Structure 1
């Protein structure tokens, strides 16, 4: 049976429903994720497939070219400002959601750190996680 994840932004105006298992759970230390989160990294659960993530409620987004050179759309709730999810025009079936939104957020189990080469000294992550200096391919 497929797992269903439910969550919402801080004010409840945006609700997220993700179906199935995530294809990756990670912390990203790229500069854009640092700016997006206001700290040293952003955390994501990545889902793949058409309709894997459903967003109810109005979001606002802005586009940025990430450290990888790939354009990404960063969505957030226009009411409370909570970052909700990231999509990639070059990979329309991929959606990365912020695990802190989810009702079962303490089940988030990151395995990797991307852009570890950009880590800030004061942002210390679990040393047991697999680290990639950039974004891994494949």
Structure 2
């Protein structure tokens, strides 16, 4: 039986469910993620594959060009403003769920941090995590 991840925005209007194992669990310290989160980084549980992630409720999005040059769609709840997930037009089967949404917070187990070269001095992450100066290839 595959693992199930569930979560919701702050007001409960948007619910997320993902089945299976995440392909990545990470903290991102790029400037876009700092601005998106209102703090030093964003944390994501990333899933890949068709129909792995189900989103219920009304959402809105805005787009930004990542440092890689690829477009990212930043999705949020229009009622409470909670950032819910990120999608990537160049990788349509990939969904990065905001880890703070998870109903069972302990399901999030970050393995690495990206864009450590953009880290803010007051945002300390676990030093045991692998840190990449940018986004690792592959």
TM-score by length of 2: 0.98
Q: What's the C-alpha RMSD, in Å, of the aligned pairs?
A: 0.6
* C-alpha distance in structure 2 between counterparts of 1:94 and 1:84, whole Å: 14
Match for residue 114 of structure 2? 114
Match for residue 45 of structure 2? 45
Q: Verify: 1:24 aligned to 2:20, yes or no.
A: no
Match for residue 123 of structure 1? 123
Name structure 2 gaps, 5 residues minimum. none
Question: 1:49, 1:93 within 8 Å by CA — same for their partners in 2?
Answer: yes
Name structure 1 gaps, 5 residues minimum. none
Match for residue 79 of structure 1? 79
Question: 1:32, 1:67 within 8 Å by CA — same for their partners in 2?
Answer: no
- List, as ranges, runs of 4+ consecutive aligned residues in structure 1 with deviation greater than 6 Å: none
* C-alpha distance in structure 1 between counterparts of 2:53 and 2:38, whole Å: 25
Question: 1:28, 1:41 within 8 Å by CA — same for their partners in 2?
Answer: yes
TM-aligned CA deviation for residue 107 of structure 1 = 2.4
Match for residue 67 of structure 2? 67
TM-score by length of 1: 0.98
Q: Verify: 1:90 aligned to 2:90, yes or no.
A: yes
Alignment length, in residue pairs?
138
* C-alpha distance in structure 1 between counterparts of 2:38 and 2:91, whole Å: 26
